[in-house]
Amino acid sequence: MAGIIRYRNLVIHSIDSNILAIWCHGSYLPRTRNKTTVPCTAALIWHAPEDGHGVLPRGARYITGSRSANDLADWGTTLGGLSCVDYTLLTKLDDPTTVVGPATVDYVTTIPGTTERLSTVWEAMQNKHLDYEEVHYFACRVPQ
């Protein structure tokens, strides 16, 4: 299902890849730190440290395939079936929503100015029959 796939406030740019990159901002509510469970068929690879900042240009380079060792560096993996923080995802009004150059993997943003949750990505995968084996998280993992 190549093209633009919309699910709630998510915009998935698809090239029919089995890899998805989350390319937007992220945060969590410190009081609750709600949890979500990674789908059993996928692994979630973190490209930002817990309670640390992501780097959106690294995500863009990863998406377009111009990856350096630094762009591939990760802060661990959450395997399918395990839980993690249900981060809030946000694309700001002045953020880019498409990468410069052709994408080599699928990637997701939110509609600018709106938010969604990481758990909504899992819902989209299920409802839109998207079989991602890897989900790369380039957003921040900081408190709101």
User: CA 143, CA 88: separation in Å to the nearest integer?
Assistant: 10
**Calpha distance 64→27 (Å, rounded):** 25
Q: How far apart are the first and last CA of the chain?
A: 34
How confident is the model at residue 138, as a pLDDT?
Answer: 95
- Flag residues of the chain having pLDDT under 70: 1
Sketch the domain layout of the chain as residue ranges.
3-143
CA atoms of 35 and 83, how far apart (whole Å): 6
Exposure of 109 by Cβ count < 10 A (0-12 exposed, 13-18 middle, 19+ buried)? Answer: buried
pTM above 0.85, yes or no: yes
In this prediction, residue 1 carries a pLDDT of 59
Residues with Cβ < 8 Å from 95, sequence gap 6 or more? 24, 25, 56, 109, 112
pLDDT tens figures, 78-91:
999 999 999 999 99
